[in-house]
């Protein structure tokens, strides 16, 4: 991960993480959701091995994590007038393997808010504490534009643009539930109860979870696009359990 951070520093002068290496070419677009995941992994790695841990190249993992945290909060955060984390940095730059690019993605906001709060609350923080200006404002905003009529989370705000839908996803709902519980469990008690109920509605007696409820209330095992249905996925089950939606 430090190698990906270094390549992003060289390309864009920030401590976010480059996306991937494909055929020896580094894709230096940083995806903020991935950066949030890696910040969480760094925090839990330090929990397990201590804050003196070094990479194989003798670089401080604590320094790597603080620099990543700082860039997520300062470079990836759109700001007080927009209240969301960018999908990518540079802003609106797609990856070398393009995806259906959107802004205000619900799982990006959940992962980044969760990671920022958890790292800032840890014993490893040496950068400034950005929690108060980011975590709750981000969650308040994204819930207002991505909460669906069935109680789950859209992929991104629905405006009728190409590639958008009013599908509500179990996995995205679970991630937002986890973030809300981490950031302020008392304030978001009603929200998290509703998200858990949505996930339970999608859960079958054998423990498998339907991935999506569409705008009509139909449940899909998984929905890759408007015409393709696949089998059950393990990811929503894992996230649901982490969110506390299991029985």
In this model, does residue 225 exceed pLDDT 70? Answer: no
Q: What pLDDT does 228 receive?
A: 61
Q: What pLDDT does 74 receive?
A: 97
Q: What pLDDT does 235 receive?
A: 87
Segment 61-87, tens digit of pLDDT: 999 999 999 999 999 999 988 999 999
Q: How many CB atoms lie within 10 A of CB 108?
A: 28
The whole-number average pLDDT for the span 92-106 is 93
The whole-number average pLDDT for the span 157-185 is 96
| 214 burial via Cβ count (<10 Å: 0-12, 13-18, 19+) | middle
The whole-number average pLDDT for the span 193-201 is 97
Is beta strand 168-169 parallel, antiparallel or unpaired with respect to 212-213? antiparallel
In this model, does residue 96 exceed pLDDT 80? Answer: yes
pTM of the predicted model as reported, rounded to 2 decimal places: 0.95
Where are any strands of DSSP class E within 32-186? 88-89, 168-169
Where are any strands of DSSP class E within 11-80? 20-22, 25-27, 30-31
> Are residues 179 and 111 in contact, defined by beta-carbon separation less than 8 angstroms?
yes
Q: What pLDDT does 163 receive?
A: 82
In this model, does residue 141 exceed pLDDT 90? Answer: yes
């Amino acid at each position: 991960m430090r190698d990906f951070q270094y390549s992003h520093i060289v390309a864009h002068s920030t401590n976010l993480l480059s996306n991937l290496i494909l055929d020896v070419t580094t894709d230096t677009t940083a995806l903020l959701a991935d950066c949030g995941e890696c910040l969480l992994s760094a925090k839990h790695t330090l929990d397990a091995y201590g804050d003196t841990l070094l990479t194989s190249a003798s670089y401080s993992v604590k320094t790597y994590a603080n620099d990543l945290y700082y860039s997520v909060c300062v470079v990836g955060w759109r700001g007080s007038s927009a209240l969301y984390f960018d999908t990518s940095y540079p802003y609106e730059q797609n990856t070398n393997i393009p995806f259906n690019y959107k802004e205000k993605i619900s799982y990006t906001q959940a992962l980044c808010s969760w990671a920022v709060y958890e790292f800032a609350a840890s014993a490893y923080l040496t950068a400034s504490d950005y929690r108060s200006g980011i975590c709750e404002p981000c969650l308040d905003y994204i819930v207002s534009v991505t909460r669906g009529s069935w109680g789950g989370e859209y992929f991104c705000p629905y405006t009728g643009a190409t590639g958008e839908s009013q599908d509500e996803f179990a996995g995205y709902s679970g991630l937002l539930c986890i973030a809300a519980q981490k950031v302020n469990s008392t304030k978001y008690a009603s929200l998290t109860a509703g998200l858990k109920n949505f996930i339970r509605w999608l859960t079958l007696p054998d423990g498998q979870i339907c991935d999506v409820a569409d705008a009509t209330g139909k449940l899909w095992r998984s929905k890759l696009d408007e015409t393709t249905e696949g089998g059950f996925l393990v990811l929503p089950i894992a996230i649901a359990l982490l969110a506390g939606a299991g029985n």
